[in-house]
A = this chain, B = another copy of it.
Amino acid sequence: MPALFDGLKRILVGRPFSTEQLKKKPLPPKIALPVFSSSALSSLAYAPDEILLTLAMAGVAATMLSPAVGVAVLVVLVVLVLSYRQSIKAYPSGGGDYEIVRTNLGARPGTAVAAALLVDFVLTVAVSSSSAAQYLSGLFPVLGEHRGLVAAGIVVFLVVANLRGRGQSRWALAVPVYLFVFGMLALIAIGGLLAATGKLGLAPSAEFTIVPEEQFSNGLHGVVGALLILRAFSTGSAVLTGIEVPISNVQSLAKPRARNAGRILLVVGLLSGVLTLGTLMLARASGIKVVADPQKSLMLDGLPVSADYVQVPVLGQLAQAVFGDFMLGTVVVSVLTILVLLLAGNQAFNSFPSLASHLATDGYLPRQLRTRGDRLGFSNGILSLGVAAVLLVLVFQGDVTILIQLYVVGVFVSFTLSQLGMLKHWNRELVPVADRRIRAAKKRQRLLNLVGLVLSGLVLLIVLATRFVHGAWIAVLGIVLLMFVMNSLHRHYQQVDAELSIEDGGQATALPARVHALVLVSTLRKPVLRALAFARASRPSKLEAIIVDVEPQKTQRTLQDWERLRIPVPITALASPYRDIPGALIEHIRSIKRESPRDLIVVYIPEYVVGHWWEQLVHNQTALRVKNRLHYEPGVLIASVPWRLLSAKNALGGGPTEESSAHREPKPLPKD
């Protein structure tokens, strides 16, 4: 079993890397820009769709508002980009929103942001892989029915790729993003040119009519209409996801770090804005129609569309409208989009484990999240993220529309708290400053964060108000649960620390008076002799063998063997009317303790080491029970004396072979 598992792991993950290889070269801006922008830019794959299909609920006329909604989103984008540029300057250490909130608002809000970010990263993976699955099923319609499974497959692929870790070349991460950006810019430029000259073709879905939902049969009116527009706006805010990536990764940039990060942020914001607005305008011009449920809401010549109609996402339809019959263009756009979505997911696989390990170091998450795996990645973090994302895409069957709601909640919780933190930061900064010009500058900066706070708070409120029962509650619940776990763990670790830290070093180092060794015996066989030999080798003050009398005949036989073989150690048989071996042993130990409380009691337990899992089921059960119970007895040392059965020596993986451990030769470090 271990060998099988080990072999599989080697194939999937590869040979281990040395800790030496951890040092990274800083990223020059030309690589950092694409790497850090994949997350933000990938939202182009789904955000325009979500705006359009939300508005489509009120019919075709409503979808004409999409560029206006896009502009509203861009306003938020501009404000947040500018305010994050301020944040980078104020907090250039790479701690991101978590650091800003923790420093300015305290530990509790800090864990809230951390929880929101963790939820966020999970949703980045879930949304990206689901959207990628959607584009894939545009290329291979047969995948359409199993979108949840395809998305799960993509997540698994990302997990394996990230467990392999550093194998990835940096350019491999950068090139697809450049291609995507230039491709999309070209698409929008050509499309714009065609539209300006009146030559832009219609999208395949232009000929459909949209059946509005019942409450919008009279168009977009009243409170319901306003709420729908707000919903489209908040959903469209998914465009902003990922713009915080540069600030969280300042440390991996080439110098001047903060300056480079600020520039990257600006370019990312600019590209995001141009591409989103361009896409929305061209979508309107080419008559693209996207709805939540095509079979329900799309009509062609007065009849519902056929059941096998597969809705192509906006970018795909746009490529068809611009390139016309030029199939290759459409395929290229889809493939590039899928690649960028994969890179966005991949980015989350860097951010999540690194934040989790940071939190584990601070004692807010289990210590295991700090362990670097064979390939230096935080394997446990990668696996946790993978499991959570797979669960989400399977539960929601890769439905981007629902997942987006959860995503926006997570993102805007951290945006809002981060803005609040920056507000406090400026208030504190303003106190000691007397110079008027400096004060004015800081006040302007504070104003920007205030606007940012209002806007991001607004988006959060709208999502929660309109989509709480439709799924947003899951994100809220996830954040709250994570906060609870983090705070409980923190308290626990602190208690343990206080309990275990050495103040004077007196009490705990007191040497036990004498050592009283007990060897647990059932039948007299080789492992017992070895346990006795080991026990005698450590020269205890007193040594006795113990047999608990559960089956009188067996006990008698063992006692007879004992005499026959002239074992030079006294044996005591403990009566146990209730056949409770650990119980009898513990009672015996307690009576020893009563007589000489300062004695150390060492219980030697012979144990079999077996080669197969099923052998574990038929051996060692008593030893296991005894060990578990003894653990709760104070002042008892439990010594396992392993006896490797032949099956363990023969079985594959019975132990490390000389070969596999050859490259791990440890050297004693020089002490200093």
Contacts and interface: CB of A to CB of B under 8 A. Distances in A.
Contact of A559 (B495, B499, B607, B672): B672
B661 A587 contact: yes
Contacts of A580: 16, 664
A437 to B, nearest CB: 43
B495 A508 contact: no
Contacts of A514: 537
A505 interface: yes
Given A526-B500, A639-B637, A20 B577 contact: yes
B578 A621 contact: no
A654 B631 CA distance: 10
Contacts of A19: 550, 577-579
A669 B638 contact: no
Chain A at the B interface: SS class: mixed
Contacts of A548: 666
Interface in A622-672: 627, 629-634, 636-648, 654-656, 661, 663-669, 671-672
Contacts of A366: 617-618
A269 to B, nearest CB: 37
Interface string A40-82: 0000000000000000000000000000000000000000000
A574 interface: yes
Interface stretch (A143-151, A290-298, A528-536): A528-536
B656 A602 contact: no
Contacts of A584: 664, 666
A384 to B, nearest CB: 12
A327 interface: no
Contacts of A627: 640
Interface string A247-262: 0000000000000000
Contacts of A350: none
A457 to B, nearest CB: 35
Interface of A: 16-20, 366-368, 371-372, 374, 489, 492, 495-496, 499-502, 505, 508-512, 514-515, 524-527, 529-530, 532-534, 536-540, 548-550, 555-556, 559, 565, 571-580, 583-584, 586-588, 600, 602, 607-609, 615, 617-619, 621, 627, 629-634, 636-648, 654-656, 661, 663-669, 671-672
A615 B499 CA distance: 15
A646 B530 CA distance: 36
Given A496-B608, A538-B540, A573-B671, 13 more contacts: A367-B621, A372-B579, A499-B526, A537-B600, A538-B538, A555-B669, A559-B671, A574-B667, A575-B669, A584-B664, A584-B666, A588-B666, A632-B644
A661 to B, nearest CB: 6
Nearest to A627: B640
A436 B514 CA distance: 79
A583 B505 contact: no
A519 to B, nearest CB: 12
Most chain B C-beta atoms within 10 Å of own C-beta, residue among A367, A586, A607, A668: A668
Nearest to A506: B529
A354 to B, nearest CB: 15
A366 to B, nearest CB: 4
Nearest to A568: B509
A47 B646 CA distance: 52
B573 A669 contact: yes
A575 B664 CA distance: 9
A583 B656 contact: yes
A600 B534 contact: yes
A536 B637 CA distance: 13
